[in-house]
Amino acid sequence: MTDTITKSAKTKAETDQIPLELQETPKTAGWLRLYESGRRRLLTKAPPQIETANEPKLQHGGKTPWGLITFVLLVLIPFLASLIYFILIASDQYTSEARFAVRSLADDGSSERVDTGIMSMQSSSQDAYVVTSFIHSAEILRRLDGKIDYRAIFQRDDADFLARFDKRGSHEDFLKYWMKHVVAYIDGPSGIIILKVQTFTPEDSVNLAKAILEESEKLVNELTVRAREDMMSSFRDEVERTDRLYQAALGNLNRFQQGSGLLNPTEQAQQKGTLLTGLLGRKLEMESQIFVLRQAKNTDSPRYRQLSLGLESINQQIDGIRSQITGGADASLANVISNFAVVETDRVVAEKLYEAARRNYDQAFAAALRKALYLTVFVNPALPEEALYPRRFLSPVLIMLGLLTAWTILALAWASVEDHRL
């Protein structure tokens, strides 16, 4: 009974709290029920917590501060570690620098300079790339192996453990380490090669740089000799081949001359032709005289008999010369001249071939000399006075900036993911 009275009183009190315009009437019954439903929902929610002076205030809504933790782990600690290493632990590294170029004596294309033999200096960029590639290759390590202990240079016990090369490292690992401490590159279109050698002592840097320059110069000389041999080998073979042909032709001509007994059958034929012409002239003269004596009926005179005997002798000589020149025998001068023409033609052709091959060889040799490579060093390795590496303050700052940038990007990405979840 008491509960019923209490509920009635409570209902009456709640009704009194309802604004006059929302009290239950036939028109406002629906609005009153909606108002009461919303009011009950609000009353069922937990009341807000009231902070007191004795209760500590919760940070971050009671969540773990992952941002601060990641900043310490990913940025602050690595920065402090790098700072300690570069300032207190890192060993000094000295750099020795050399500058050189690969040059060749090349014709500048001017006709005047060709006539005077003046050559111009031209840089060979392609050969410069060959030299830089050689310096960064395992071949130079093989060549330096018997001249300088390059592993001991980079495995010094007084160097810090991070900078020196591990004694247990393989040959491939050392080649990677070598490419970091021995740097060679071409400075733009000038073709100048800049060599930088970085070790733990000034003396080691200079000695190693000099050894590298020495091996590079040997490589350039080898390239020159190899290119010259490749260029000259074919011309040399042609000269030798044509020389053999020429010597064989000379041998055939010598044997022919010894067999025929004539040094030059053509000249011999010319001489016989001249002699034959003279004999024919005398024959005509004597025949004319004999004809005159016959007309004078002096055939019994001594003069007639003398002319007749002389004419007979001249006819024999003419027949002999004609048989030598145009006779059918194997030993006739015509056959000798024919065989001589063949032998002499072979000799002339072989001689011309040999002369052309020799001329080509001389021209190729001159071109090879103009293309000869050589290494010109105009900045020799110098003893460094101070260590350029490590950069004890700049390196930690750069590491700090890099870590901070990476951490900021990760934090922004994580915040973006969290926003999409909400």
Domain limits of the chain?
Answer: 63-87+390-422, 88-233+372-387, 238-370
**pLDDT tens digits, residue range 152-204?**
999 988 888 888 998 888 999 999 999 999 999 998 778 899 999 999 999 99
CA 153/CA 174 separation, integer angstroms:
12
The per-residue pLDDT for 365 is 87
Question: Can you give the length of the chain in residues?
Answer: 422
Q: How far apart, in whole angstroms, are the C-alpha atoms of residue 280 and residue 322? A: 11
Give start and end residues of each alpha helix (H) in 155-201. Answer: 171-181
Contact of 134 with 223, CB cutoff 8 Å: no
For residue 345, the model assigns a pLDDT of: 86
Count of CB atoms situated within 10 Å of the CB of 100: 22
In this predicted model, what pLDDT tens digit does every residue of 289-314 receive, in sequence order? 877 777 777 777 787 778 788 878 87
CATH 3.30.1890 describes domain 88-233+372-387: yes
**Please, which residues have CB within 8 angstroms of residue 90's CB and are 6 or more apart in sequence?**
160, 162, 163, 390, 392
Each residue of 386-421: pLDDT tens digit? 888 888 888 889 999 999 999 999 888 888 887 777
Is the confidence at residue 140, as pLDDT, over 70? yes
In order, the DSSP letters of 22-87 are: GS--TTTHHHHHHHHHHHHHHHHSPPPP---TTSPPPGGGG---HHHHHHIIIIIHHHHHHHHIII
If one compares 59 and 76, the residue with the highest pLDDT of the two is 76
How do 192-199 and 94-106 pair as beta strands? antiparallel
Q: What is the DSSP letter of 167?
A: T
- To 5 degrees, how large is the angle CA 228–CA 232–CA 233? 115
61 φ/ψ sector (left φ>0, alpha ψ -120 to 50, else beta): left
3-state class of 389 per DSSP? strand
